[in-house]
Structure 1
């Protein structure tokens, strides 16, 4: 088989498998006690959110990634979901417990079993009640990583065709997955050693399990050589008796599971707590679907949460698992009656004593040193990697290092921390560190960093609320959103089906915009159009010394705008005209309106946010030049390229230098301490301006003016720029200078000053995907 892979497939296609991760975890208080609050309602119906749901308890969150075909995509999506959960539960002063074994937990009667809505929620609830009665609630709170794996169809079809097998493709695929499953059971002990990360328990856990470990103080019990209490006999989550399904064929497997159910060992197929599961197409009818449709993928359930990674599993471990699954496919098999029992002995032995230096395991009914056997397996994996040019050397060397240096394993490292601080404090510190990391970078959505920020805001909200997100085109920022069978396509966050095609065409033409506003009794600045620089040169003389604005007719983002709020010479006005003509073949000159500029953001029939956009500026410290102050201000974490960051970095261009010159300044001037120096007249965020939230401060009269303007165009999403002298006084003079279709929303979502606005929700509400 390996020759087929070598000769018929590329390394990339060999490694292209289907990957998915389910990560469980408890919500805890800042004191490390189990959170008794309900599952956060923002995550919606537990049975319908495809990404964030519950497991056994209301307090036990489960994150589910879609299937991806690269490790990077899978990990990034898992990190995005992890950050979302950390952020949302953080608003309730809760933390995401990073450890597989439970935190400080109450008696079973106080553990809140997950509740569900409607008729379809009765069965999941009843199933959990049966588990509580049979196994107890404390074991049910054990959390972990479920790794879902499938070979690509191209991979399997290539092998099937090259082998010339006469069996159907379904039968061939079932046989492949059964072989991988059997070998996984044989070698799962190695993953427990390499990725085990539960060396101890908090003393609120089951008393009889605590007795299997040593009391090290700080309410903590530790196993001296243990790697994974979660997979051990005493503390772990297992069936009441050891069950050994028949994995020779799908038919024999189904027959053995039915026998377990008939005997009363388990209530149904999903109660078999195997280390690896055959997964069907229809999870509601597991056995029937396996018989009809065959195996769709494998679910590995061995892996502990890795407390040293925010996501609960390190990317390098996912990379190794990919190669390891290939090894399991290619490795031969030796059958004997008790091979499953032997595999279970090795599992428990490594879970409970895996760090002991001279530990021996059963290898085909013979005792062998764990270290030597692990080295031999990893050497085989390395040979496969080299022969097939897979270039996975780094992850393999990392695993070899963990075998040769047990002190580098997760279990050993965590044991030291728990010896020092105790189970509770050690894991609380880690949880708090991850919260700080997530909070510091909360405006970026992992895996979508290359999407413009407004689209990231929408995607994040959709994921949070369980609306399915299908990226269509990252370069064009187009996504498809799905909920309850309904589809909505969205471009750049606010280009949606609810607006008419004519709306943006009208708004991008500033002359037409002014006419429509005037027809609706709304004030706009006076001005005229110039269609060529020659025309401007002839007519600009009459504007010398007047307070005016020169701007392109049809561009956005503040490009090409020059403001002369103190009047300008003819040369200065001509220079402003040249700059505007660089952006458009028609330009406008308008009266400058006194006051400050405010952006009103409307969605649907309401103003959802208002902010003042302060023009690009620096504040002096009495020591630094303007150029140096700009460099310092550009270090703010919100400032970047303006597309993948909430704010744009300030650039010293011709317009800003001209504006400084009007003030008698240069880039080398040193402002006084606390003196604010403006670098431009226009206040656009895209030219380095500051966003300052005014949503609660703005007088409602002006919000009604903004809505009146929007209704004149029939727009559902709009940004209205209004110049106001006094935002508190409805009698203040004002003028509308611009309407913007597809307005930038990130500056409202993450303002430079003031309250952040949750605008992804308003978008979803406007297009009818949430109430």
Structure 2
């Protein structure tokens, strides 16, 4: 059965193409009115960063993370994300949110305060993990922001695709299908930074230009850019771990993937051992392995399952198989107050559905390296109309436009099926607009942003201007889904939940860590 036949089979049930589960996680730095990184702690009015279900922190105190629940409607999802932003702005005082993925001006590493989660063993471990990241990669690298898109197909989709199955057979079939999607994401996912990459430039405080082999150009007094770059956040300048390149984590099956991840968290690193784990009575990192914990594995897409209390991500996957996937290659959209738009979500709906229904042969390490090279070409030079991408490891080459048009021809079939199922033209309209971006790179987000940076003579001025626009928009709009008192209640209750966790601790922090890592020692 080929892609078109599978799509026709799925489309027989409208629920299969209208009830996808979607969730968003958006990261954003708090900045001062001068456009510098905030030195203030997490706003008390937002409650506990450890337990608030909507607003937490990522690496640092000023790096907020907004989390939506799972939704089956695109507009509802964005309304929820918008309301979380709206409430947050009532607690920020004169601060605002930096609207880009690459950070604002950062004077030194010491200006970045690690995220704090209280005195519980769980909270202390979260901060210590970040301490390890600081020692391993530097704090500036950790305050790069992104948008993560969590996505799952409904049961109706799998029913149409696989028919009746036992629970065990269905679990295995769904996991295999998601890993087929992941392999196709590596093959074709460069389309996402091409279309939506929004980090073609960066502040000179981030870049040690002398250490970079890239031929950066300069605008203003301290902004560096590559003329055709799309997403420097995803390049070697961004958040990567070179030690992981030797891990050889495969994506041909759940078991192969889990074997690779477990090997990574058990593999000692000479480089990280030199940092020390506990020095003069103070912890510097959780351990000296290539990965401290599974979350340290950097990938543009992850297989996920909701964890139970005390369960590690790999244990959840082994227990129940893949439940959803997390797309991690979206830059913050600088032109959206909430960092992402409906058309981006709808494109991901189309792309991920196409990727799971298309043939996806097993992939060895050499093929994966070919696809990673394509990604790197696109993030550094994707708007160059003469750029050639590999179609395989056999030497065939196509331009971004040629290959993009091939994929879009099949995405059009998915758009027709989704619009027929929902009785709208939303997906066809999205694809028609983005088709013009394939044909004309100057329409992409990275091109639009770079034009503004050049006109305004720097990333700082552009970022502050966009932040002011977004602040005004969010502060004046009404709540769309939630009510303000719901956020106030969650903030209060999150503090109480953190206090209860702290009161329930019965073992020392050393004993807690020994217990947590007992299976890898």
TM bin (shorter chain): 0.7 to 0.9
1:108 pairs with 2:109: yes
Q: In the TM superposition, what is the alpha-carbon distance from 1:419 to its structure 2 partner?
A: 1.0
Higher strand share: 1
**Is the 8 Å Cα contact of residues 21 and 64 (structure 1) preserved in structure 2?**
yes
Q: In the TM superposition, what is the alpha-carbon distance from 1:401 to its structure 2 partner?
A: 1.2
Provide the C-alpha distance between the structure 1 equivalents of 2:411 and 2:248, rounded to a whole number of angstroms: 28
Q: Compare CA radii of gyration and give the structure with the larger one.
A: 1
Residue of structure 2 in register with 1:406 after alignment: 441
Corresponding residue to 2:407 among 348, 371, 377:
377
Q: In the TM superposition, what is the alpha-carbon distance from 1:28 to its structure 2 partner?
A: 0.5
Q: Flag the 1:14–1:336 CA change in 2: closer, same or farther, 3 A.
A: closer
Q: How does 1:51-450 map to 2 (within 5 A)?
A: 51-89=54-92, 91=93, 93-119=94-120, 120-161=122-163, 168-208=169-209, 212=214, 213-233=216-236, 235-241=237-243, 242=245, 243-264=247-268, 265-282=290-307, 284-335=311-362, 337=364, 338-365=366-393, 366-386=396-416, 389-390=420-421, 391=425, 392-421=427-456, 422-441=458-477, 444-448=478-482
1:26 pairs with 2:42: no
Q: Which runs of 5+ in 2 are unaligned?
A: 269-289, 501-521
SS, match of residue 255 in structure 1? helix
Post-superposition Cα deviations, 1:338-368, rounded to whole Å, max 9, x if no partner, equal: 2211111011110000011111011112222
Q: Flag the 1:245–1:430 CA change in 2: closer, same or farther, 3 A.
A: same
Q: Flag the 1:253–1:434 CA change in 2: closer, same or farther, 3 A.
A: same
Post-superposition Cα deviations, 1:612-643, rounded to whole Å, max 9, x if no partner, equal: xxxxxxxxxxxxxxxxxxxxxxxxxxxxxxxx
Q: In the TM superposition, what is the alpha-carbon distance from 1:464 to its structure 2 partner?
A: 5.3
Provide the C-alpha distance between the structure 2 equivalents of 1:250 and 1:268, rounded to a whole number of angstroms: 18
**Is the 8 Å Cα contact of residues 244 and 340 (structure 1) preserved in structure 2?**
no
Q: How does 1:322-721 map to 2 (within 5 A)?
A: 322-335=349-362, 337=364, 338-365=366-393, 366-386=396-416, 389-390=420-421, 391=425, 392-421=427-456, 422-441=458-477, 444-448=478-482, 456-462=483-489
Q: Flag the 1:341–1:211 CA change in 2: closer, same or farther, 3 A.
A: closer
Post-superposition Cα deviations, 1:373-404, rounded to whole Å, max 9, x if no partner, equal: 01111111002323563541011112211111
Q: In the TM superposition, what is the alpha-carbon distance from 1:82 to its structure 2 partner?
A: 1.5
Higher helix share: 2
Post-superposition Cα deviations, 1:186-220, rounded to whole Å, max 9, x if no partner, equal: 11111010110001011111314676321222321
Q: In the TM superposition, what is the alpha-carbon distance from 1:328 to its structure 2 partner?
A: 0.4
Relative to the length of structure 1, the TM-score reads 0.57
**Is the 8 Å Cα contact of residues 203 and 210 (structure 1) preserved in structure 2?**
no
Q: In the TM superposition, what is the alpha-carbon distance from 1:266 to its structure 2 partner?
A: 1.9
SS, match of residue 301 in structure 1? strand
Q: Flag the 1:26–1:466 CA change in 2: closer, same or farther, 3 A.
A: farther
Post-superposition Cα deviations, 1:588-612, rounded to whole Å, max 9, x if no partner, equal: xxxxxxxxxxxxxxxxxxxxxxxxx
SS, match of residue 125 in structure 1? helix
Between Structure 1 and Structure 2, how many residues are aligned? Answer: 460
Provide the C-alpha distance between the structure 1 equivalents of 2:138 and 2:81, rounded to a whole number of angstroms: 30
CA RMSD, Structure 1 to Structure 2 (Å): 2.4
Q: Which runs of 5+ in 1 are unaligned?
A: 449-455, 469-481, 487-771
Bigger RCO of structures 1 and 2 (CA < 8 A, at least 6 apart): 2
Residue of structure 2 in register with 1:590 after alignment: none
SS, match of residue 326 in structure 2? strand
**Is the 8 Å Cα contact of residues 210 and 221 (structure 1) preserved in structure 2?**
no
**Is the 8 Å Cα contact of residues 30 and 63 (structure 2) preserved in structure 1?**
yes
Q: Flag the 1:466–1:276 CA change in 2: closer, same or farther, 3 A.
A: farther
